[in-house]
Structure formats: C-alpha cells, structure tokens
C-alpha cells in the first residue's frame, strides 16, 4: 500500500467512525485489564456477558481475591479456557495488591510482568485506558495488515512495528480500533467481504471478492 493510499485509508475509516471504542464493556482500568485478559480466544460478547455479573460483586483486585478460585470460576465458566484464565487473574490481582497498591500500572514492563498479560494485552490497556499510541495486533489486525499491504509481516510483532512506522501520527492513537472492527466484521479470514469495505480502493488484495449473487 502506497503512502498516499494510507492517508486515504485512515481518513475514510475516521470519517465513518470518528470516535471508535472497544467493544469490551468496562468502567475502570482494572475492569478493562480483566476483560482483555479474559478475552483471549473468546469473543467480546461472551466476555461482556460474564463480566456483567462478575463486576457487580467483584470489580477490584481485592474483591476478586476474596472470591477465590471456585467463586471466580463460577462467574467466568462460560468463557473458553476459564480454568487457566481464573488462575492468571487471581495471580495478577495478588501482584496488583502487593506491588501496585491495587492499581493497574501504566508501564509496559509492569503490565507484562502480570500473569496472563502479554504484549497485545498490555498494548490494549496502554491505548484504551491511558491513550498511548500503541498497536495491539490480534489475529484480525494481523490478517488485515498483511492482506491489504498496509503492514506486511510474518509475526504479530513485525506487523505491529510496521503499523507504528507507517500509520500517520494523527491517526495512530485510534488506529487499533479502526483496524480491528473491519478486520473482525468485513475483512474476514475465509471470504473477505470486499463489496462492503469502505477502503477497498486502497487495498492491495486481489482479486476483490464480489458481492454474492444472492445479495445483488
């Protein structure tokens, strides 16, 4: 994708969605961290359904610890890999209480030191909670970055580095949201819905998927 096309690409996405938001429901930085930690290999819808009940009874690190493993698992058992996620969340809460006064740290190093928190999760928290221009590359953004030619790379880190290098500074803070939403709903893995894509004209992917005859 050429530099001029990148400007058009993001300007178009911005015009369509001037104030993009994460689809995870949260009311505090800790709730955001919890939701992102639980969202690995799970849909935002399933996470929101579980946390809607969880956060009523436990929305701080200490309250999660007070639930204990069985109590926490009872609230998140509808989410995939809930056994491991419950253990990680309890370990994270213990570290937040013991090392950070019950607050979510703002540094990448401190975030990634928390159990179950990798680079992608740290990037989401830094971006959504603290407004830092980070790029959380999940499977959708990885696919979109490569397919469109916006940020080719063989690994999520390589795609992240390309995005940080190629996305114009004025779009950088919200770029994660502008990419993940079309990546999730339009630029789908098996059959990209090119006929619905607002930025198809900027995209290197060929041949474009035509509108199905049944939808004509």
pLDDT band at 47 (very low <50, low <70, confident <90, very high): very high
Query: What pLDDT, in 10s, does the model give residues 81-96?
Result: 999 999 999 999 999 9
**Domains in the chain: boundaries:** 3-20+137-202, 29-128
The whole model's pTM is what? 0.90
Is 165 a catalytic site residue?
A: no
**Burial, 127: exposed, middle or buried (Cβ in 10 Å; 0-12, 13-18, 19+)?**
buried
Please state which CATH class domain 3-20+137-202 belongs to: mainly alpha
Residue 177 and residue 16 in contact, taking contact as beta carbons nearer than 8 Å? no
Dist. CA 167–CA 13, nearest whole Å: 13
pLDDT tens profile 116-137: 999 999 999 999 999 999 999 9
54, 1, 2: which is closest to 30 by C-alpha? 54
Q: Of 77, 98, 120, 165, which residue is the catalytic one?
A: 120
Peptide bond into 44 cis (omega under 30): no
- The CATH number that domain 29-128 falls under is 1.10.340.30
**Is the predicted pLDDT of residue 213 greater than 90, yes or no?**
no
pLDDT, averaged across the chain: 94
60-87: burial string, b at 16+ Cβ within 10 Å, e else: bbeebbebeeeebbebbeebeebeebbe
Among the options 138, 174, 204, 206, which is catalytic?
138
Structure confidence by residue, pLDDT tens digits, 147-198: 999 999 999 999 999 999 999 999 999 999 999 999 999 999 999 999 999 9
Task: Check residue 117 and give left, alpha or beta (phi > 0: left; psi -120 to 50: alpha).
Answer: beta
Question: Does residue 120 carry a catalytic annotation?
Answer: yes
| pLDDT score of 96 | 98
What pLDDT, on the 0 to 100 scale, is given for residue 216?
A: 61
Kindly tell me if the per-residue pLDDT of 211 is higher than 90: no
Minimal CA–CA distance to 137: which of 158, 165, 111, 168? 158
């Amino acid at each position: 994708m050429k530099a001029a096309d990148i400007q058009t690409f993001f300007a178009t996405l911005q015009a369509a969605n001037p104030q993009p938001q994460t689809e995870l429901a949260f009311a505090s930085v800790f709730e955001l961290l919890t939701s992102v930690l639980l969202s690995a290999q799970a849909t935002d819808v399933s996470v929101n359904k579980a946390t809607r009940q969880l956060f009523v009874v436990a929305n701080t690190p200490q309250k999660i610890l007070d639930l204990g493993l069985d109590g926490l698992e009872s609230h998140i058992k509808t989410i995939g890999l809930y056994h491991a996620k419950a253990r990680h969340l309890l370990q994270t809460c213990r570290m937040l209480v013991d090392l950070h006064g019950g607050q979510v740290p703002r540094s990448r190093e401190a975030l990634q030191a928390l159990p179950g928190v990798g680079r992608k999760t740290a990037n989401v928290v830094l971006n959504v909670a603290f407004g830092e221009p980070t790029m959380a590359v999940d499977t959708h953004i990885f696919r979109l970055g490569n397919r469109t030619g916006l940020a080719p790379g063989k690994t999520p880190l390589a795609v992240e580095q390309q995005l940080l290098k190629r996305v114009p500074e004025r779009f950088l803070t919200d770029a994660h949201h502008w990419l993940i939403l079309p990546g999730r709903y339009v630029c789908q893995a098996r059959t990209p819905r090119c006929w619905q894509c607002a930025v198809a004209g900027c995209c290197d992917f060929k041949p474009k998927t035509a509108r199905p005859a049944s939808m004509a």
